[in-house]
Structure 1
Amino acid sequence: MKSATPLLFLWLSLAAACKTEDIITSPKLISNNPLLSATDSAVNKAFLNYQSDLNTVGVSIGLYKNQKTSFYGYGESKLGSGIAPDKNTFFEIGSITKTFTSITAMNMLLEKGQTIENPIRPYLPTNLPTLARDGVEINFKHLMTHTSGLSYFPDNFGTGYYTGNVGEEFAKYDRNKLFTWLLNTPLRSKPFTTWEYSNGAMGLLGTLLELNYEKEYGSILKEKLLGPLQLTDTKTDMNETDMSRWSKGYSNGKEVAYWNSLNAMNGAGVIKSTASDMIKYGLANLNPPSTRLGDAITKTQQVTFLPFTEAGRIKINGRLGWFQCIHKDLPNEIFIWHNGGTGGYSSDMYINEARGSILVILYNTDKGTQAREDFTLALLRIISN
């Protein structure tokens, strides 16, 4: 979850590189790839090319191409189990949660006859100040595009941010702490002038949903998005999952604790899911249903903040919750993209609208490597041909 790009914090690990002193874990050559098709063989070749430096115990891959879905597992879901993760193995997906939060928020605005230009002020407690700078109030567009001027992380988060106990700090970061941050923090820039990835902004967006519906984040998501899209294995609470299907998360060669609750920051990264459900989610974004929710999905895919940010081998600009992503080695392909990471997991989701294809990659180890970037590029070539 650590990023090599200073602007991109924690869940947006675009090119997260391990330090030289970090332990690099090579997944074992255990797989459920059936090796029956050309796609099967291409995925297997890519894995073998980069296996030694992927730094993960296991990886679950979902591909949708030419109207066919394929799933592949390599390595182990738990170290020493001898069992590769499959399409139904649970992983924490970290910041991909932000796309779910944004779609649900867009759906809420459509319910109320509002737009992303509506200020967030009416949704907040009256004792909080109007969040503004240079005469511009924060609105929903600013939160969804990471242009609100809110810092990438609340400055009252706690010492766990520095000591590695981030999951514990999330569990303690309640609404009172979030509101205290908003009460005391100046905006870092005039809204919609500067892109700065903000977990705080997306955590706030999830809390605005809770304040509007007077329900907790997971219940809202289940009612408004997960249920209608039949994402039965996408959860916000581990207690609602089948624990026998969980992968174990690792960091620097050691098992780490699960992140069950992010409390007031749930909207930024609490979701747990499987490769199977993530492909279903990707398909709903490729072919939105003819409903208000489908309209919300379509609207979040619009490029809204035009300037590009370059990070390593990719450049991105802002859709609403999502990013438009162009890889320098695939300059003619445009992807709808988000990634994620928690204390022991990292993930990527790419949707190629023009090709009608989807790629999902779920790792049960947190820190990325150059080999992971190369592996991702190889898989992107597969879904783009």
Structure 2
Amino acid sequence: MTKRTRTLLIALALTSTISCNQKNTTKNKSTEEIVKYFAGQFLDDDRIHSVSIALVNNGKEDTFHFGQQNPNRNNPPTDSTLYELASVTKTFTGTLVAKAVLDGKITLDDDIRDYLPREYPNFEYEGEAVTIKDIITHTGGFPNFPPSSENKEVFWKGLHQIKIDLKPGTEFNYSNTAPEITAYILEQVYDIPYQQLVTKFILEPNGMTNTKFVLDENEKKLLIQGYNGDKKPQEHFKNNLWGGISGLHSNTTDLLKYIKYSLNDSILEVKESRKNFFSTQYDFDIGYHWNIVEIEDEICYRHHGGIWGMQNWLMIFPESNFGIAVLSNASFEGGLFSEGIDDKLENLALKIKSEMTSSLEK
């Protein structure tokens, strides 16, 4: 059974109850009351310890924190608490690709081999090359994980083992291999290390001083501990490559700034990054690494991030000028009729957004 099928079964089973309770309990409530109500529902699951929320609603900025960072301890997260963003890092990569296109550094139809340090005759299918557009939309035919990732040298060697067995640009297959290639290409065209590119073009202009790939000793003390569904502590992710797939740490204060940046379509690379390139076989389209879905007749640009012991969602709704990030230091999968933490966080974000939007309409 696919995750989408499982999610639909859960939704069918719970929709009527949730809808009724939501309408009766949050009507005419403030933002804080709405968020607190749905966060309380979220934390009813004993496997979840805490949740942090950053939201921008038509220019108004709020952050919220509930629960406790560690089981059985009275230490709730704060605005200073750092989370691993995991694959939400890919949205930074995608936005930098959008900027590179606008800057004339690359084109979406470029053969990626033009930028790589070695020859890869295997990066084509029946004579058709893998392009920049293919690797940012997960349609290049690359495996989810690279054959080798211990360091950059073995990464390049391992790529010779990959076989592209379908026409590039025709089928979505999520890949944690391709974004690292993308990060390397960005380094080559700007002649700046990838992580410095993120800092120079996104973090510094937006004052995101707490968002970093590498933490110093004091910052490590602010990094929240992650847990699995059995409440066992999990290791933090260590990226030995460029960081195009994962590796950024951030807090709710900085995520407010990233949400505002991502809502601002007067910024050229932000507007470019919203382009829609491919309709996947699932329930979303994809552009510059943003997953694009229609929710309640509004387009949402979003991405999920999951790592050992930590999960988060980032959602941007330009039409209603609304953006939300929800983060938790728990990670567990769902079953046939039960939600995983990713589904729970997704529903939390959408319930808050739906209620706040409907309140404005009233």
Where do residues 3-82 of structure 1 align in structure 2 (5 Å cutoff)?
Answer: 5=3, 38-53=30-45, 55-82=47-74
- In 2, distance between residues paired with 1:124 and 1:203? 12
Deviation at 1:225, TM superposition (A): 2.1
Deviation at 1:100, TM superposition (A): 0.4
Indicate the residue corresponding to 2:348 in structure 1.
375
Which one-letter code corresponds to 2:234 in the other structure? Answer: V
* Match status 1:257 vs 2:235: yes
Flag structure 1 segments of 5+ consecutive residues without an equivalent.
7-13, 16-36, 158-171
Which one-letter code corresponds to 1:176 in the other structure? Answer: E
- In 1, distance between residues paired with 2:264 and 2:217? 28
Where do residues 107-256 of structure 1 align in structure 2 (5 Å cutoff)?
Answer: 107-129=99-121, 131-154=123-146, 156-157=147-148, 173-239=150-216, 242-252=219-229, 253-256=231-234
Question: Match of 1:350, SS?
Answer: strand
Question: Match of 1:268, SS?
Answer: coil
Which one-letter code corresponds to 1:256 in the other structure? Answer: Q
Per-residue CA deviation, residues 202-256 of structure 1 (Å, 9 max, x unaligned), is 1211122234445443222212321122211111112286234221111231111
Is the Cα contact below 8 Å between 1:60 and 1:73 reproduced in 2? yes
Question: Match of 2:244, SS?
Answer: helix
Per-residue CA deviation, residues 176-219 of structure 1 (Å, 9 max, x unaligned), is 22212321211132111111111111121112223444544322
Question: Which of 316, 335, 338 is the equivalent residue of 2:284?
Answer: 316
CA pair 296-54 structure 1, distance change in 2 beyond 3 A: farther
Question: Match of 1:178, SS?
Answer: helix
- In 2, distance between residues paired with 1:270 and 1:98? 10
Indicate the residue corresponding to 2:324 in structure 1.
359
Which one-letter code corresponds to 1:254 in the other structure? Answer: K
CA pair 4-218 structure 1, distance change in 2 beyond 3 A: farther
Question: Match of 2:169, SS?
Answer: coil
Is the Cα contact below 8 Å between 1:357 and 1:383 reproduced in 2? no
- In 2, distance between residues paired with 1:241 and 1:151? 37
Is the Cα contact below 8 Å between 2:144 and 2:174 reproduced in 1? yes
Is the Cα contact below 8 Å between 2:234 and 2:309 reproduced in 1? yes
Deviation at 1:88, TM superposition (A): 2.6
- In 1, distance between residues paired with 2:46 and 2:79? 20
Is the Cα contact below 8 Å between 1:77 and 1:246 reproduced in 2? no
- In 2, distance between residues paired with 1:188 and 1:279? 41
Is the Cα contact below 8 Å between 1:146 and 1:198 reproduced in 2? yes
Is the Cα contact below 8 Å between 1:218 and 1:237 reproduced in 2? no
- In 2, distance between residues paired with 1:346 and 1:4? 20
CA RMSD of aligned residues (A): 2.6
Where do residues 261-276 of structure 1 align in structure 2 (5 Å cutoff)?
Answer: 261-264=238-241, 266-276=243-253
Deviation at 1:78, TM superposition (A): 3.1
CA pair 123-322 structure 1, distance change in 2 beyond 3 A: same
Query: What is the aligned length?
Result: 329
Indicate the residue corresponding to 1:27 in structure 2.
none
Indicate the residue corresponding to 1:384 in structure 2.
357
- In 1, distance between residues paired with 2:157 and 2:356? 45
- In 2, distance between residues paired with 1:210 and 1:70? 35
Question: Which of 76, 94, 109 is the equivalent residue of 1:102?
Answer: 94
Per-residue CA deviation, residues 89-147 of structure 1 (Å, 9 max, x unaligned), is 10001000001011123323433453222221221014333621133211111111111
Is the Cα contact below 8 Å between 1:151 and 1:188 reproduced in 2? no
TM-score by length of 2: 0.83
Is the Cα contact below 8 Å between 1:233 and 1:241 reproduced in 2? no
Which one-letter code corresponds to 2:273 in the other structure? Answer: T
Question: Match of 2:187, SS?
Answer: helix
Name which of structure 1's ranges 212-221 and 345-354 shifts more when overlaid on structure 2. Answer: 212-221
Indicate the residue corresponding to 2:17 in structure 1.
none
Indicate the residue corresponding to 2:260 in structure 1.
283
Which one-letter code corresponds to 1:132 in the other structure? Answer: E
Which one-letter code corresponds to 1:263 in the other structure? Answer: N
TM-score by length of 1: 0.78
Indicate the residue corresponding to 1:301 in structure 2.
274
CA pair 277-380 structure 1, distance change in 2 beyond 3 A: same
- In 1, distance between residues paired with 2:301 and 2:145? 24
Flag structure 2 segments of 5+ consecutive residues without an equivalent.
8-28, 333-339
Name which of structure 1's ranges 347-356 and 100-109 shifts more when overlaid on structure 2. Answer: 100-109
Indicate the residue corresponding to 1:343 in structure 2.
308
